[in-house]
């Protein structure tokens, strides 16, 4: 082994170690360091290095995590280039070709879920299908290839609504479960199967589909009661049942499972924790929409506040989270006893801060309906600040007008909110204040 090879492998080990640290805490600096080290490892490896395909594959994989955090096209392109070269080196006879194909497919799915680039979904499906062909029953990557293809087909079905796509996904998940070997448990398989039936139910509305989803989720939980996959699947099943029945029992069950899933994810993986805090927040949001209870509102604020702390600037979920946080805080302000001046001021200022971060966040669609709603909401927040003698300043009036005007500029002419926002902006211009209608 030459010195160049030795250095390449050392850098590779350091990079992968740093990447695993990133998964534990989600800190951007660690994934940036991991990607840099893995890039250096590739540069150090001669073209005929026996592990060059592995180095490139891991460079592409960790680069995909960086792309998720940064949203930068360059990070995605560099990762694609690494995966393409890795595949060219891992020929059909190469033992690592299946996992290399899966890694590349996972990268493409990251961009598809973020930007809905159809070409990436189609390419990922072909990569997973090839991985399936290369992993017959008994192969060590059989389960992973089947479940990866099944997950891809769920996304495809959500786009096409073609029952054949979801039935194929269901078969993939069942085959993946059957391919699981000890000591591994098919927790991922059953949770993926549950997701298949959940997606199918959204189209068929057949009770049998949601029952199948719940059965798969329960099997996942029974196999590993403390794993977030099965618990999260149960959250989604209870949430779907709540949408049908509007029973507080169902949404309370979803919240209990969501709390357990969040706790379980905290000791497993930071990215999983982020996903679970979002899902738990969705359950609290649904419950508050029904009860309008102050305690439920506080839980909504807690979840969105915690979520906003960890989401990176490039994550599309950040803008949505901050919009929700601003709205919940403004509701909290409106419900706060105005004699509790210090508490009311604190809540209103936090609402404004969240809203301003939200409008500054990356929006994939510039005139997104939620962005318009957030601009209108900020106009109301500054109007409320202006109305307080202990807080309002002259510049708050201009802020209230400016955000309202931008909302009008971004919304369609036939938007049903237009008339009310126009009344608000005109009242602010003429009278210097606006009386919020009772809602």
Separation of alpha carbons 394 and 45, rounded Å: 63
Separation of alpha carbons 302 and 105, rounded Å: 35
Q: What tens-digit pLDDT sequence spans the chain (439 residues)? A: 444 457 999 999 999 998 999 998 888 899 999 999 999 999 999 998 989 999 999 999 999 999 988 889 999 999 999 999 999 999 999 999 999 999 999 999 999 998 889 999 999 999 999 999 999 999 999 999 999 999 999 999 999 999 999 999 999 999 999 999 888 889 999 999 999 999 999 999 999 999 999 999 999 999 999 999 999 999 999 999 999 999 999 999 999 999 999 999 987 888 899 999 999 999 999 999 999 999 999 999 999 999 999 888 888 889 999 999 999 999 999 998 766 788 899 999 999 999 999 999 888 777 889 999 999 999 999 999 998 888 888 899 999 999 999 999 999 999 999 999 999 999 999 988 888 876 5
Separation of alpha carbons 285 and 328, rounded Å: 9
| pLDDT in the model for residue 338 | 66
Which tokens in the block code for residue 416? 């049903």
| pLDDT in the model for residue 325 | 98
Separation of alpha carbons 62 and 268, rounded Å: 18
Q: Which residue has the tokens 């971004």?
A: 410
| pLDDT in the model for residue 67 | 94
CA-nearest of 379, 437, 434, 431 to 410 is 379
| pLDDT in the model for residue 55 | 96
Check: CB of residue 377 under 8 Å from CB of residue 330. yes
Separation of alpha carbons 406 and 410, rounded Å: 6
Say whether 401 sits in a helix, a strand or coil. Answer: helix
Does residue 282 have a cis peptide bond before it, meaning omega lies within 30 degrees of 0? Answer: no
Separation of alpha carbons 301 and 328, rounded Å: 6
Check: CB of residue 45 under 8 Å from CB of residue 51. yes
CA-nearest of 301, 211, 278, 293 to 248 is 293
- Give 416's contacts (C-beta < 8 A, 6+ positions apart): none
Q: How many helices (H) and strands (E) does the chain have?
A: 19, 0
| pLDDT in the model for residue 5 | 53
Kindly report the CA angle at 142 between 140 and 146, in degrees rounded to 5? 155
CB count within 10 Å of CB 24 equals 13
Through-space distance between the first and last CA atoms of the chain, rounded to whole angstroms = 73
| pLDDT in the model for residue 417 | 92
Which tokens in the block code for residue 208? 């049998």
How far CA 291 is from CA of 148, 285, 299, 307, 407, in Å, comes to 39, 10, 13, 23, 30
- Give 344's contacts (C-beta < 8 A, 6+ positions apart): 333, 336, 337, 338
| pLDDT in the model for residue 339 | 66
Separation of alpha carbons 292 and 105, rounded Å: 43
pTM of the model: 0.91
């Amino acid at each position: 082994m030459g010195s160049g090879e030795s250095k390449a492998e050392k850098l590779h080990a350091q990079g992968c170690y740093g990447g695993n640290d990133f998964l534990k805490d989600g800190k951007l600096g660690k994934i940036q360091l991991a990607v840099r080290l893995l890039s250096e490892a590739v540069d150090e490896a001669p073209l005929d290095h026996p592990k060059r395909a592995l180095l490139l594959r891991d460079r592409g994989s960790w680069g995909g995590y960086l792309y998720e955090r940064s949203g930068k096209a360059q990070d995605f392109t560099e990762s694609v280039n690494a995966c393409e070269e890795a595949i060219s080196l891992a020929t059909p006879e190469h033992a690592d070709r299946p996992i290399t194909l899966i890694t590349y497919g996972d990268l493409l799915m990251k961009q598809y879920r973020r930007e809905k680039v159809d070409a990436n979904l189609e390419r990922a499906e072909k990569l997973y299908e090839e991985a399936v062909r290369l992993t017959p029953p008994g192969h060590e990557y059989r389960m992973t290839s089947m479940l990866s293809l099944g997950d891809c087909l769920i996304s495809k079905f959500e786009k096409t609504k073609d029952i054949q796509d979801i039935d194929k996904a269901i078969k993939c998940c069942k085959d993946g479960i059957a391919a699981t070997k000890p000591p591994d448990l098919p927790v991922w398989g059953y949770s993926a199967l549950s997701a298949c039936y959940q997606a199918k139910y959204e189209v068929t509305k057949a009770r049998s589909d949601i029952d199948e989803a719940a059965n798969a989720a329960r099997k996942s939980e029974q196999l590993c009661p403390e794993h977030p996959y099965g618990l999260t699947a149960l959250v989604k099943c209870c949430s779907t049942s709540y949408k049908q029945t509007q029973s507080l029992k169902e949404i309370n069950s979803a919240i209990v499972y969501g709390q357990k899933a969040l706790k379980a994810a905290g000791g497993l993986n930071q990215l999983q924790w982020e996903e679970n805090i979002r899902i738990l927040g969705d359950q609290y949001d649904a419950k508050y929409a029904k009860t309008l209870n102050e305690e439920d509102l506080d839980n909504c604020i807690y979840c969105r506040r915690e979520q906003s702390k960890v989401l990176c600037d490039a994550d599309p979920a950040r803008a949505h989270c901050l919009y929700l946080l601003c709205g919940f805080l403004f509701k909290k302000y409106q419900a706060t006893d105005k004699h509790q001046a210090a508490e009311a001021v604190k809540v209103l200022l936090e609402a404004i801060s969240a809203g301003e971060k939200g409008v500054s966040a990356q929006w994939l669609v510039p005139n997104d309906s939620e962005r318009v709603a957030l601009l209108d909401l900020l106009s109301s927040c500054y109007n409320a600040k202006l109305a307080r003698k202990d807080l309002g300043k002259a510049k708050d009036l201009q802020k209230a007008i400016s955000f309202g005007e931008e909302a009008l500029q971004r919304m369609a002419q036939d938007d049903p909110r237009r008339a009310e926002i126009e009344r608000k902006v005109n009242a602010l211009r003429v009278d210097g204040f606006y009386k919020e209608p009772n809602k």
